[in-house]
Amino acid sequence: MDLRYTNRRDHQLNGQRLFLGLMTGTSLDGIDAALVDFSSTPPRLIAAQGTPLSDDLRGQLLALQSPQPNELHLAQLAANAHSDACADAIHALLAQAGYAACDIEAIGNHGQTIRHRPECGYTLQIGNHARLAEKTGISVVGDFRSRDVAAGGQGAPLVPAFHQALFASPEQRRALVNIGGIANISLLIPHQATCGFDTGPGNVLMDLWVSQHQGLRYDKDGAWAATGHVLPDLLAQFLQVPYFALKAPKSTGRDLFHQDWLNTQLANRNDAPADVQATLCALSARSIADTLRDQQIDTLYVCGGGAHNQRLMRMLALELPQTKTTTTEALGVAPDWMETYAFAWLAKCCIDRKPANLPEVTGAEGQRILGAIWPA
């Protein structure tokens, strides 16, 4: 008999409501896992850790970002491998924190986005949730975005609802920006409806360029970008992309900002690679800052991998001299774990049958309960 499925503890009686959040983002740099206790106000982040993706799995997931032969079969194999890696990450985190599977109500598993086409009525995050439930003995909540898309929304970003619930201030005009592969922003302004959307590329284009020219997964601290010079004409060209002029609600991903897009933008140019990297960094900073210039934001809190890019953080501060720019560490959540924390919260909302989207953010016809449940 598998003891994972017997004598499950009563989560309500022992005073804790524990949920796990799992996230692999557009940057494909690893699996982030967070363990959160929602029995207190504010909730308590108990433990978190990141696990690098193997080169093989990362290669499989990257290949699926573009159409290819036999991709249905390859996507299912990648989903299985992704779920196995997630299960390993969960076991490691629980061992680190001193908890067992029977202590956890559910896992919020974002899955890996391989297509995001809300204009066509779908978004696809692969991950074998049934396999993950089987391997961990914990109920899994997944497929968070599809219900919002079915209701006419973008299905993204989903984190503004979480940011509003935990970090809105009655006095301060705040903005939170998650800079992963794609950057998304939440505007938390007193007495106004929360606004949020994808601003455009975060790290994705910088990662592609540094991989092509330096053989690295990412530009650590923005050190390579710091050796180059921003090319004003190239930056202006990048900013002519129609996406940046669209009004919210809007969302984007690798379906738009990918290697072929970058190659097309750079065709017939002969710029120094470091200058291109500096300009890509400036594009991320400018496209974020442009959404904030008229908002009189007191503090901009940055999370995601971009919070570690010192060059990008300096550019943001220069773009927004009247706004204090810092990381979400100031809110009590390390930048690496904010989005993973959000998916633990989204799992709890689903289990509690509470809506977790913001129609004013995604454009959905109304509030919806997000996610589907695979019971342990």
- Which residues, including other chains, have CB under 8 Å from residue 154's CB and lie 6 or more apart? 118, 148, 197, 249, 250, 251, 362, 363
> Cis omega before residue 249 (within 30°)?
yes
Distance CA 105, CA 109 (A): 13
Distance CA 343, CA 363 (A): 20
Residues annotated within the binding site for ATP are 25-32
Q: What would the two tokens of residue 106 be?
A: 């559910």
Sorted by sequence, the CB contacts under 8 Å of residue 34 that are 6+ apart come out as 20, 21, 45, 47, 48, 93, 337, 340, 341, 344
State residue 14's pLDDT score: 67
Q: Which amino acid is at 108?
A: G
Task: Give the residue ranges of the annotated binding site.
Answer: 25-32
**pLDDT for position 3:** 30
Rg of the chain (C-alpha set)? 20
Q: What domains are defined for the chain?
A: 16-156+337-374 (3.30.420.40), 159-335 (3.30.420.40)
Q: What is the pLDDT of residue 65?
A: 86
- List Cβ neighbours of 245 (8 Å cut-off, separation of 6 or more): none
pLDDT recorded at residue 66? 86
pLDDT tens digits along 145-202? 999 999 999 999 999 999 999 999 999 999 999 999 999 999 999 999 999 999 999 9
Strand 30-37 with 174-179, pairing:
unpaired
Using alpha carbons only, give the angle 107, 197, 305 rounded to the nearest 5 degrees.
Answer: 60
Tell me if 252 sits within 8 A of 200, measured CB to CB. Answer: yes
For 44-153, list the strands marked E by DSSP. 44-52, 104-109, 112-117, 122-126, 140-142
In the chain, which stretches have pLDDT less than 50?
Answer: 1-13
pTM summary value: 0.92
Distance from C-alpha of 69 to C-alpha of 55, rounded to nearest angstrom: 21
